[in-house]
Amino acid sequence: AQSVTQPDIHITVSEGASLELRCNYSYGATPYLFWYVQSPGQGLQLLLKYFSGDTLVQGIKGFEAEFKRSQSSFNLRKPSVHWSDAAEYFCAVLKAAGNKLTFGGGTRVLVKP
Amino acid sequence: GAGVSQSPSNKVTEKGKDVELRCDPISGHTALYWYRQRLGQGLEFLIYFQGNSAPDKSGLPSDRFSAERTGESVSTLTIQRTQQEDSAVYLCASSLDFSREPLHYEQYFGPGTRLTVT
C-alpha cells in the first residue's frame, strides 16, 4: 500500500526566511508526486508536480521541490517566504492505475512578520 | 475558463436529515473525485468516477454515503441520516484521464461545501 507522510504538522517561519517542507512516500513503482497549497478559505491549488526527468522541479509562486529516490522524499522549498505563503501544504502521490491521489496529512505554515 | 464549482457553499442541517451536495466538473474532464476534509485534517478520499466505468467507492465511510454522476457531467454526493461526525468540508475535484494525458494530469479542486450537522 502506498502512503504519504508529512512529518511536520506546523511550521513557523519569519517573512523573508527560507522554507522547507518535508514529504516522504512509500510506493513500489515510479512515483508521480504533487504538492498542493490550500490558502485560508480557498480550494486546493497545484504548486508543482514530478513525473520523470529532472529531479528538481519548479512550480508557481517561487516554489521548487526535489525528488530523491534514495530517500523516498519530495521536499518542497522556497528561498524567501512572503506573508501570503501562510497556508496549508499537502504532498500527494498518484496511483496511476485508477487516477487516485493519496494525500499526506498536511503541513500548516505560519509566517511571522 | 470555468473551474470546478460546488453547491451549496455552506450547508447546516439537523442530525438525521439527508443532504445532497453538488459538483460541476470542468468540461471535458472524464474523472471526478469526492474528498472529505475534517477540521484541521488532511483530505480523505471518498469516491472516484472515471468515464463510464464503475465508480471506485472504496473510500465511502458507511452506507449512508452515496454518489452519482451522469455521464461526464454533474455529480451529487448524498449523505443520508446525517450524524455530527459528518461535519466537514466536502471537496470535489476533476481531471483528465492520466492514462490518456499523463503529462497534463492534474486534479482541479472546487471551493468545497462546508457541512455542519447540528
DSSP A16: T
pLDDT band at residue A96 under the 50/70/90 scheme:
low
Write out chain A residues lying below 8 Å of B107, CB-based: 46, 101
pLDDT tens-digit readout, B76-118: 999 999 999 999 999 999 998 877 777 778 899 999 999 999 9
Check residue A98 and give its pLDDT: 64
Query: Quick one: cell of B5?
Result: 464549482
Inform me whether the C-beta atom of residue A52 falls under 8 Å from chain B C-beta atoms: no
Q: Among residues 14-53 of chain B, which lie with CB inside 8 Å of chain A?
A: 31, 33, 41-43, 45, 48, 50
Q: Which residues of A52-91 are buried (b: 16+ CB within 10 A; e: fewer)?
A: eeeeebebeeebbbbbeeeeebbbbebeebeeebbbbbbb
Residue B1 pLDDT more than 60? no
pLDDT value at residue A27: 77
Q: What pLDDT score does A51 carry?
A: 86
Q: Does the pLDDT value for residue A2 go beyond 70?
A: no
pLDDT of residue A85: 96
Q: How confident is the model at residue B41 (pLDDT cuts 50, 70, 90)?
A: confident
**A7 CB-side CA count, 13 A:** 10
Nearest CA distance, B83 vs chain A (angstrom):
24
Could you read off the pLDDT of A32-79 as tens digits, one per residue?
Answer: 899 999 998 788 999 999 988 889 999 999 999 999 999 999 999 999
Q: Is the pLDDT of residue A31 over 90?
A: no
So what's the pLDDT on residue A99? 76
Q: What local confidence, expressed as pLDDT, does residue A90 receive? A: 96
